[in-house]
Amino acid sequence: PCPPHGVCDGTTSLQAEPGYWRSGSRSLEFYSCQPPHSADSCVAGACKEGYEGARCSVCAEGYGRTGLECVACPDPEWSWILLVITAIFILAVLLFLVIKSINAGTTALPGQKKDILPIVCKMLLNHFQ
């Protein structure tokens, strides 16, 4: 007799019904992969790509959970590039605001050039001390 939720096709191999999982190829017990586990995570009694563990309820390494689904994590190289670009942008905006603020507070005599570089250097030096 075929065990509950097993598929006996007349050959020597025993498969699981869709949405069911078993702990090994010799196990005769089948477990549901229904929520809170995703039924789509179990394929032919094994775990679909990106899933692992009992009832295929854990995301495999390199995958993360979005709702009930395990999706591939983005390439970490892109995360670093985005982080560097964001940091440069923030520093540029801060530098612009500092220079604008300094220009608003300083006035040069007629014929005299405003030199704000020493002021900015002093501010940065004080900040990083």
Per-residue pLDDT tens digits for 50-87: 888 888 888 899 999 888 788 998 887 888 889 999 99
Lowest mean pLDDT among 22-36, 40-54, 98-112, 114-128: 98-112
pLDDT digits (tens, 9 = 90+) for 22-58: 888 788 888 887 655 566 777 766 788 888 888 888 8
pTM over 0.75: no
Phi, psi angle pair for 36, to nearest 5°: -75, 0
Tokens representing residue 83 in the block: 């982080």
CA neighbor of 56 nearest in space, from 40, 72, 71: 40
63 neighbors 71 (Cβ within 8 angstroms): yes
Neighbours of 42 (CB within 10 A): 27
